[in-house]
Every structure is written in C-alpha cells, then in structure tokens.
Amino acid sequence: MILHPKVVELVRERGWRGLNEIQVEASEYIAKGYNVLIVAPTGYGKTEAAVLPIMSRILYEGAKPIAVVYVTPLRALINDITRRLREWGDRLGIVVARRHSDISKAEKKLRMKRVPHIIVITPEGLEIELDWAHKFRRFYRNVRWVVIDEVHDLVGTKRGAQLALLISRLRAFTGRDLQIVMLSATVGNPPAVARYFVGSSKRPLKIITSSARKPMEVTLRLVDEDWESMAKAVAELMEPPTIVFVNSRYFGERLREELERLGIRNVMVHHSSVSKELREESERLLKEGRVAGVIATKTLELGIDVGYVKKVVVMGSPAQVQTFLQRIGRSGHTMGEAMRGAVIVWHPVQLLEALALLHLAEQGVLEEPDTGYAPLDVVARMLVGSLLKSEPVRLEELYEIVRGSGPYSSMSREEFSRLVELLKRGRLLEVADGRVRAGPRFYTIWRFEHERRWGGHGFTEFFTFISSLPEFVVRTSDGREVGKLDAHYVFRYLRSDDVIRLAGRSWRVVRIDDRLYTVEVEEGGEGGEVPLWRGDTARRSGIVAKQMARLLEEVCRGALRVPFAEVLKAVADRYLSEVGAHPSASVVIRERVNGYTVYTLLADERVVEALGLMLLYRLSSEEGLGVEVKTSHVGLAVKTGHPDPLSMLLSLSRVELEELALESVKRSPYFRMKLRELAPSFGVRDDDEDLAVEALRQLQHEYYDFV
C-alpha cells in the first residue's frame, strides 16, 4: 500500500471519496523515490498530493526529525501551510513547526525540546538556520525530503538561486540524494524548472500535470480613462467575495478612495505597504464573508488562504500570462469549477494586451523563466555564510556544492577561483593550505542592529535577497502599525497635518521622525493624498508582444472576431491612412510629433528600454545634452537633430552594437545603484573592475534585452 493505513483512515474521516488523479499519480512516484514537479490549478489539492505520501514514508520508515523541509516563497504563507499540515500531522504523531521572524521565543525553545518532523520555512529562514543556528543545525542532517511550494515565484530569481544552493548544501550536509517535490499552479517549461532545483540529483524526474484543463470564464470591459468610470465598472462587476487585482499600490489606494465616493465602503486594501496585522485582518474578513471584496496587488496572487473567491476583477493588463493566470486562478477554488473573472481596460493598447493574454492563457502558452540566470553575489554570500559558524572547509568541497546546484552547474573551476579571489580581496574569505574560512571584514559590513551605523547594513540583511527601498513605518500614537511609506515620498512631499490614504483609510500626519524613520498618524481627516511608491511596474513579456502583433494583424484582415474589435481596427486604420502601415512584430512606425521622432513598436519592454538607452548614449555623445529619449510600453520618443535615429542605430555592425550596449549600460542610472547593491556581498569598493562586470551582467538580465 502506497499510503500508510493511518493516512488512509484520515482521508476517509474527511469524507473524501478518494484521491484525485493528481494525488494518485504523485503518491505513486513519490513512493518510488522520484523527484516530482506537480503542476495543477488552484483547488486540485497539490499540497496533499505532496505531503500525504511523504507522511506515509515517515510513518513506514520511522524517519527522524527533521525529515522534511517545506519551503514557501512568502512568509505570509507559512502560517496557512503550517495549519494545514498540522491538521494531518497532529493525528499521525508527526510534528510540524514553522520558522519565521515573528514566532515567539517560547515557540523557538519548544522546537529544541520537540524537534519537528516537518519544518515550514522561507529560503531566507533556511539560510539563517544553516549559517547561524549552530545548535539546531544538527537536526538538518536527518532531512530526506524538500518540498518547494509556488515554485514559479522563485525560479530564475536570486531567491531561487539561493534556494537551489541551499538544497545542494543540504545534500552535502546530509550525505543523501534528497527527494525534491515541487508545486505550482502555472509554470512555463516544467522540465527546465525542475532541473533548476534538483541540480545534481541522480533520482529520476517525473512531471505531473492534470489531464483536464480548468475552464475559464473571463469578460472584457472597456471604460473611459477616469477614476469614476473605473470604480463604477468595478462596482458593477463585483460578486462577493471578490478580489480586485491592481498593478500598483497607488492604484489600489486610489481605487478604494473612488469606491468610497460611490458609497461602497465594504472593500479593503491589501498590499506590501499595509501592515501585517491589517493584511491579515482583510484576509480573515474576506474568508468569513464579512467584506464584499479586497483590492490587492501581487500580495494575494499566491496561495494565501482567503477562502472561497467567487470572482476576480483585474484592473488593466498584468503584462504577463503567468501573472494573469495566477490572478484569475484565485477564483473557482474547487476541481472542475470555472475560473471566473473580468478584465477592465481603458486604453486600446491595454485592450490589445489583455486580448493577447487571454488567447495565450487559453492556449496554455506561458513565459519561460530564465533558468540560466546565475548571479554571483548569491554564490558569494553562500560561501561566506556557510563558514560563519564552521571550521575551515576545503575549497573543493565548496566548489562541488556550487556545481551541484542547477543554476551554477556549468560554473568552471576558473570562474569559481576568480570569485574566491574577489572575496579574498574584499577580506570576506581567507584561504590557507587549500582550506577557507570567513574573513575579518564580515562583521564590519554586516552589523548587528545595536551596532549599526548610519547607512550600514543590518546583520539579518545578509541572509536575504528580497530587495527593498528605504521606508518609513506609519504608526498610530498607541504604537499600532498601519503600513509603510517610501522614504523618497516622505522626504519630498509629506508634512505634519497632511492627510494621506493608506490601507483604504484616511490618516492625519501628527509628526515625522526622520531619525527613526517613523510617521505618527491619527485616523480621520477629509479626503487625503494617495502616496507614491517606487518599484510598482509590470513589464510586458516578449510572447505577449508577439501575440499582440498577431491579433492586430488578424483583426485588420477581418479574420478574427474579438470583443471591441472595432476599437482596435479604428486604431490600425488610422495608422494605415496616415503612414501606410500599422505596428506589428516586423513593422516599426515612425512619426514626427511635437518635435519628437516617435517610434511605435510591439516588443518586449526590456528590448524597448535597451534601444532607448543606446540611442540616448550615442546621440548625446554626438549632439550634447539637448537630446531626449523617453520610453514607454508602446515604443519610444526621441528629441534629436537626426532625422531617423533608430535606422542609424540599426545600421551599425554587430561589434559596434555590442560596444555601444556595454558603454550605454555603464551610463545607465541603474549602474551606480547596482554597484552599491553588490559591493557589500563581495566586500570590495564600488569601483572594482570585477564588480562592474557582474553589475553589467545583472543589469542586462533585469532591465535591458540587447540580444
């Protein structure tokens, strides 16, 4: 029997008629010892598909704690997952514990006395456990299984690379070929994603997907570009309980304000700058059916338990198919039930993009993650962190750990040696007789909180790759946290007695403390200004841009009937009458508008950014400071004396273009920021040549596509 009799008994007690096809297949292959990637929509019981066969193996084989590391990308998911696993584990004698910064000291002490069989943790938490928790770390020698939830949110990112290295470290630490089980509702190129995390594992791999595709019922609504029209459309389309997804924190707060003007107050706001307590309150009220809906950014895209969601409303285009499916997939939480939603747009380009997303989603075409992204600062911190509470280690052992991870499997010995030399130069590593230990400079860069100097780096920051801009904490006079504000916004715009909107409410500013980075507020005040936050952007993917071009072509030929086709055809006809063509995958429209040469093109936004950057550098070098280049999601506008700057750029040879790309990135506003971001990880000054090479490589991955 694959499942242990005690597990089977619990399944029957729950009134289940049995396991579904995903759970049956997963149980079979997990029992056989395969590494497994399970891809299935929300509501298909992926968590149970992974955990029930593993719990059965724990019971059958008497596995010692810690037997399972259950990794989730969001700290907010830890409590939900822990609760779900304990519902099974408590009845089976399997101890489940959680690890995050908010748990009490009593709970931390308890796990030393009652070591858990399953620990639920984030990548950052696991890094701290292996690097710093020297007393508890010994229990990780017993690990046999690693479960990775919401795997699509990690793959191809620095946090994903960090986790891949941690799995390789665990493999070396335990001396076992750990069994890896990965879960996702949506992911492009599943085999590549699986290989990214299993690394050097010798186990066979099985990818499990549902044979039935979940039906999708999505409508489109085109409205006027004003807040009242948008809010009225939301009010008409909501069917409680509803999640309304927006692309920025500003948009969420502003939409909530407009709904309030329409007399709709039974809606809450959920985003990363709302305090944890208020986010949890909105999740609970939505789950209990006590609010009509919640306006959310990506904070509710992943599997936080908010109960049954009848409908999802998406404001504007989320720009990527995977994001679109994650959002729509929060509705229809049972097998066979349709995902129900609506997309509200207010511009023809948004309309075309939304149609492209719908078509790609229906065809099951998703963006493929960049599994080749291998940032060196992640390896640097792994090398240093693994030595903080350790005796000197042979360099060859560390190299094998790095090579054992998916993202760094092709790193040569020469590349590894150059990285070690860079860390030696930064005095973060010391090497003697082929053995390496942590260098003396670590604690001067990464300081404990009570030792921090102005502008220094906190010790806990070393373990995380979650980037964050400086923020002010907003609190009431009794210390209750409301949320966070961007420091740039506070310094530039905010004053005492101002009224702001945050967490869907109005707050009057009582005082601002720029030393402690706090803003004291009291509830109330008329109206209120919606704050601005940096970093709230979604970039259109290449496959969406290509699909937009195909759809526009078919609409123009009358070969495709889609909602609001007449709107798109009118735009295309205007281009045809004025310039003789419309934008497509192979056609760029050039126009002269108010002294600018304007190029309209349908492309990946990183391509547009790369073109804009190269044009700005080249033209500024020739003409001076009078040149202007502005980029957007539909193209770029150039103010220059050259009649056709893009043609000039494309006439350059490949070698000239490569040199231009390199020089232009060095003058990008992001270059200095990236140098400052990376320097602490290597311990060197931000003018180091090797650091500059890595900064350029990462910028080309994150912002610019020159290929």
Domain 471-523 belongs to what architecture? Answer: Roll (2.30)
The DSSP string of 639-706 is: ESS-S-HHHHHHTS-HHHHHHHHHHHHHTSHHHHHHHHHHHHHHTS-TT-HHHHHHHHHHHHHHT---
**What integer pLDDT is reported at residue 111 of this predicted model?**
79
**Domain 216-363 matches domain 471-523 at the CATH topology level:** no
Domain 5-209 has CATH 3.40.50.300: yes
Q: Beta strand pairing status for 589-593 and 596-600?
A: antiparallel
Q: How far apart are CA 269 and CA 249, in angstroms?
A: 9
Task: Give the single-character DSSP code of 298.
Answer: G
**What integer pLDDT is reported at residue 470 of this predicted model?**
77
What's the helix, strand, coil split of the chain in %, to 5? 45, 20, 35
**What integer pLDDT is reported at residue 539 of this predicted model?**
80
Q: How far apart are CA 141 and CA 179, in angstroms?
A: 14
Q: How far apart are CA 663 and CA 143, in angstroms?
A: 48
Distances (CA, A) of 607 to 362, 541, 544, 550, 640: 26, 10, 13, 18, 21
Task: Report residue 123 CA to chain centroid gap.
Answer: 13
Distances (CA, A) of 295 to 19, 113, 185, 341, 500: 34, 42, 22, 14, 18
Phi and psi torsions of 488, nearest 5°: -60, -40
- CATH topology for 216-363 is Rossmann fold (3.40.50)
Domain boundaries, the chain: 5-209, 216-363, 471-523, 583-702
Which of the residues in the chain have pLDDT under 50? 450, 452-454
Inter-axis angle of helices 376-385 and 669-682, to 10 degrees? 20
**What integer pLDDT is reported at residue 53 of this predicted model?**
97
**What integer pLDDT is reported at residue 452 of this predicted model?**
47
Q: How far apart are CA 342 and CA 10, in angstroms?
A: 39
What single letter denotes the amino acid at residue 538? A
Q: How far apart are CA 502 and CA 510, in angstroms?
A: 15
Phi and psi torsions of 284, nearest 5°: -65, -45
Q: Is 220 helix (H, G, I), strand (E, B) or coil?
A: strand
